[in-house]
A and B are shown apart, each in its own frame.
Chain A
């Protein structure tokens, strides 16, 4: 069982794909996952990656920076191949028109036909779901909710990005590029695997209960029956005028069994605060402050390594917010080094998924 990685920063799609294809034993590739900067034309890279690995299940998405063992990159493409001994079975489905309706039923009917068992009977220990979703669609939480209703299998992944342009992001499968879509991959890995969700925050104490919200717009209108911006600023002990500057260091989180599901604020409009993830009325959100991202990520990886008895590969979905924090604190190199000892690929994402949708988090698939 072999998991291999490769990356390329070549100027053209042809050059980059050729470099990747040359790095893998293309005959024996069962599944290939790749993450590519938007400087590579989306339709072209998806078509050529698909063509370069005939017979393999090939899928990926666009990024806001890429991760490969030991390094964080920009303007490149990174890929991970799984040989035929690593993957017992795999099926990819594309869910379209997400903004209209987050309907995953057809995809799950296809999974059920392919694997020969109903989605609610599939065992989370045998199956692994990967979700790559358009990071500009704004409905990731609805898609995750719909998936969660269908199955107990974990779906983990990230929201495709577009190099921080915030215009259009892309998911890739079947040799095509899609927007307003999600690529769902259901697989049966031959090796053990673990799912990691890590975020570097701690609770500060004050709780803000959502008392009025517009879920579809990811807008919170009131916390604790007060204008949202006023209550948020009061909890932080700053003026409303100062609040937006505190957003990166003080997001909010729904804390479940001590585990924060972060909602990152984006802007204040009127009295409302908008987020990268919606919250439901009645939901208690905790005010958070940042902790040490390097130490926390290292600890999470160490725990997973101990659990699995070793690591043969990691796929990382790392929030672009975290990447910006790493850049600001000049920790890019330190972060890359956390993944130096095992085959790793990943990308900086516009949202992360694991059970639900969240922000300012790294979700990871760790293979033993």
Chain B
């Protein structure tokens, strides 16, 4: 007979079952971390069934050289690219896991690169990116970029200072302050755009040579049509950033009299104003504030006392650039690349509700709007020298 005293002891033995460990127990060595991901169209896709090719860039720990047990693993690549075609990204990932020797783990996914071809398919991109906000391993900070040509080939380049191409691309997107690029776009922000059906811009990458990728210009995505409309070159992206007040650096080459001078942009700010709420062709005013400094002067005159005159030239230049950029967006792209939709939604809500369906699709009120650009430039200083050459040179 079991003594009454021993019953708690037996009970505790039974409770030992709960100490055997965790169901989700998994050795870190057995996990394959996906760092980057590329999405391309499969080679034989039809219009009815758009097959997708997905490439996972998986980290190979022994190749990164940080593992202490590894001696001289430097020649071994630190990553492995696995790609398969299919129609659903989750299914493809499942198929890829059959090739990987370890469990695929995407909590550390940094970048998603999408080929231009995929982005240009109508309404495909919002569908494809669903998994990246729905999946429980996914984070809203994953960056997205569009590539010229094949997206997977960007994951094949051999950067010089980084062992993993995806890491290189991640830093390339994150640390970019150049005026001819745009801020890194995160998947969370993209979901907001998809939900509101506003148009937005995506960083645009292309391969320069087998060691380098350049982040230059941007891809324009039309929210209502659900597809990429076109690209904007670096120079034009700078103009666009002047209009939206996002330019934090970059140069302006301005003709002053017969000679040219180069100004460095120190900062810009801008705001929009809706002047009349005409539903067919509203009038909008753009106020741009530019702060710059004189960096290079080919003129022989002393600029010190003529800064206000120089400011006039800078203002004129910025106005020309802004007007060109607006004109291109209105007539060529027919897409609101300046996020004016967000401004109208925020500050003229009832008006926006009545026109949002026809803003940059359908009737395309955006392309029929009249823009008035006002620029105010301030030149902070003219550099360390007054004149660097005699007046006859």
Same complex: no
- Chain A residues engaging chain B, CB cutoff 8 angstroms: none
